[in-house]
A = this chain, B = another copy of it.
Amino acid sequence: MKFDPVLFAKAIADDTRQRIMSECCCCWLSVNEIVEKVGFTQPTISHHLAILRDAGLVNIREEGKQTFYSLNQDHLAVCCGQVMFKFAPESETTINLKQIIQG
């Protein structure tokens, strides 16, 4: 369950995946709905969703034939925070963020 900053960064380091993230940032979408919105083939979208899933960045809900995805905003925010703690420990923003989170 340990945080892997390379896995996280690789997961978000692609234009198509960022478009998927934008589309299902704040709502649940089926794979087909994402396909229609993003404009690649269904296998390509499934491939990207698997990468986001492996990084823990999406919530998944199966419902009959369909599978719905939504972005896991909280985990994404945590990952960004971890990157800040690791690589920008002296930045004011990071120090303030740490105080918020820890109490």
Contacts and interface: CB of A to CB of B under 8 A. Distances in A.
B10 A13 contact: yes
18 contacts: A5-B12, A6-B14, A6-B15, A10-B13, A22-B87, A25-B88, A26-B89, A73-B90, A73-B94, A74-B91, A76-B84, A77-B84, A77-B92, A80-B81, A93-B97, A93-B101, A96-B100, A100-B100
- Counting every copy of the chain, the complex holds 2
Which 8 A-B pairs rank lowest in CB-CB distance, beginning with the nearest?
A: A9-B13, A13-B13, A73-B88, A77-B91, A77-B93, A73-B91, A77-B88, A80-B80
Interface residues of A, number: 36
B100 A87 contact: no
